[in-house]
Amino acid sequence: MSALLIQHITQIATPLGKRALHGKDMGKLKVYGDGAIYIRDNVIQDIGTTREVTARLGDLTDITVINGAGKCVVPGFVDPHTHFLFGGSRPEEFIDRLSGVPYLELLNRGGGIRSTMQATRQSTAEALYQTGYGILQDMMRTGVTTVEGKSGYGLDLETELKQLRIMKRLEADTPMTIKTTFLGAHAVPPEYDGRSDAYIDYLIQSVLPLVQAENLAAFCDVFCEAGVFTLNQSEKLLEAAASLGFKCKIHADEIHSTGGGGLAARLNAISAEHLLAVSADDLQALAASKTIAVLLPATAFCMRKPFAPARKMIDSGCAVALASDFNPGSCFTHSIALVLALAVISMQMSVEEVLTALTLNAAAAVDCADTIGSVEIGKKADLLLLKYPDYRFLVYHTGMNIVEQVIKDGRLLNW
């Protein structure tokens, strides 16, 4: 048994609830002064003022006590959209894009996702594991306690399974909680050049059932984009996935408005992600649905694209989450500080909304808002102690990592 008391916390700031917050509810944080949090067996057992909680506890023997004076406590961050496991790197493409070469042109030339596919196919499992391990460690030091990880750099049975199995191993060997997503439909591999329908059939018949049988992913995603996979192909794949019990996600309307956001709402997908080019109708369809709009401002920034219409989405009633989209191509950063800053400064979200978007709503985007994403009695103890006394420093100290200590699964992280 491990027991931990954080007392004299200058401020606790958290959204509340077990499901995503929509629209203006996203801005409603609960903010306490002089708080205390008592944790036992990885569950938050009590919250209140220091006087109340210590009185209820009585004897503090065998409890590790942490002083939270001068600090703010927020829920651990959830990064609900990443491609964190891959071989190789693509710095030359980053420079090419800066000089004006479009992202999809690089992919069509056989580069982009396909170049990472080659590198990932060629990497040993051990090399991928070691690189992934280091990335997870860096992520956790910036306050990420749960991360989603997508496959999609194998584009064949063997390597897709290899990616997902390594993510499962990493979850077992590290403190990070990892939610895995099957993204075999990330690009058409060279073996299926010009035969994208056949590739979708191959995924449905020969890959998805094995991913399911080995319980390697809870989610299925598809890159629904002009010149990659069509709306019909995306729908066909996701329907097959749903019938096997996968929850659906869509890389939707990232570069062109192809209707992916509307498809996500229609299929009752758990999330629609990117949405830089979402149409007005699809935005309204998302607002009327339970599908979470996962926005990735660091990708828009790195690709010099207009940001997703976050303000309009929230004002229309959408549930918005934020994520890094960390990957070796469109967005080689997992900086939470950058995501927070862009969301507030460039997307007109409030600091309260971004905190909800990176905690409770991000947890909902990976289907675990009932157990994480807020600082509440009964939730798992994934918490951050910030080195400032007020959550607004998350953005005011622009671009800086202000996470001082991470409490993961009820224990002070030392990793």
397 is annotated as contributing to ligand binding: no
Provide, rounded to whole angstroms, the least separation between the CB of residue 83 and Fe ion.
6
Binding string, residues 84-123; x marks residues near ligand NIG by CB under 6 A: ----------------------------xx--x-------
Assess 328 for contact with ligand NIG (CB under 6 A): yes
Q: Which of the choices Fe ion, ligand NIG, none does residue 299 contact, using the CB cut-off of 5 to 8 A by kind?
A: ligand NIG
Assess 299 for contact with ligand NIG (CB under 6 A): yes
153 is annotated as contributing to ligand binding: yes
Assess 83 for contact with ligand NIG (CB under 6 A): yes
Q: Give the number of C-alpha atoms closer than 13 A to the C-alpha of residue 18, restricted to the C-beta side.
A: 6
Please give the Cα distance from 292 to 264 (Å, whole number). Answer: 9
Site for ligand NIG, residues 214 to 253, rule: CB under 6 A: 223, 251
- Give the number of other CB atoms < 10 A from CB of residue 59: 6
Provide, rounded to whole angstroms, the least separation between the CB of residue 170 and ligand NIG.
19
Assess 225 for contact with Fe ion (CB under 5 A): no
**Chain center to CA of 255:** 20
Residue nearest to ligand NIG (CB): 329
Size of the residue set binding ligand NIG (CB under 6 A): 13
Provide, rounded to whole angstroms, the least separation between the CB of residue 251 and Fe ion.
6
Q: Which residues pair with 239 in a beta bridge?
A: none
Side chain identity at 233, as an amino acid letter? Answer: Q
Of 148, 225, 282, 325, the residue at the interface with Fe ion (CB under 5 A) is: 325
Assess 148 for contact with Fe ion (CB under 5 A): no
Output the CA angle 107-113-115, nearest 5 degrees. 90
Among 346, 260, 253, 255, residue whose Cα is nearest residue 298: 346
Provide, rounded to whole angstroms, the least separation between the CB of residue 81 and Fe ion.
6
Provide, rounded to whole angstroms, the least separation between the CB of residue 255 and ligand NIG.
8
Q: How many residues does the chain have?
A: 415
Of 327, 335, 359, 374, the residue at the interface with ligand NIG (CB under 6 A) is: 327
Q: State which residue, 299 or 356, has the beta carbon closest to ligand NIG.
A: 299
177-185 β-sheet, strand order: 77-79, 144-150, 177-185, 219-224, 247-252, 271-274, 292-295, 319-322
Q: Which of the choices ligand NIG, Fe ion, none does residue 374 contact, using the CB cut-off of 5 to 8 A by kind?
A: none
List alpha helices for 58-124, DSSP H: 91-98, 103-108, 113-122
Q: State which residue, 248 or 384, has the beta carbon closest to Fe ion.
A: 248
Among 112, 149, 110, residue whose Cα is nearest residue 131: 149
Q: State which residue, 151 or 327, has the beta carbon closest to ligand NIG.
A: 327
Residue for token pair 């675990």: 368
Q: State which residue, 44 or 188, has the beta carbon closest to Fe ion.
A: 188
Please give the Cα distance from 306 to 380 (Å, whole number). Answer: 37
List alpha helices for 317-400, DSSP H: 336-345, 351-358, 360-365, 393-396
Query: What sign does the dihedral 190-193-197-201 (CA atoms) show?
Result: negative
Q: State which residue, 166 or 295, has the beta carbon closest to Fe ion.
A: 295
Assess 149 for contact with ligand NIG (CB under 6 A): no
CB contact at 8 A, 391 and 74: yes
- Contact residues toward Fe ion (CB under 5 A) are 325
- Contact residues toward ligand NIG (CB under 6 A) are 83, 112-113, 116, 223, 251, 254, 299, 325, 327-330
Binding residues for Fe(3+): 81, 83, 251, 325
Binding residues for Zn(2+): 81, 83, 251, 325
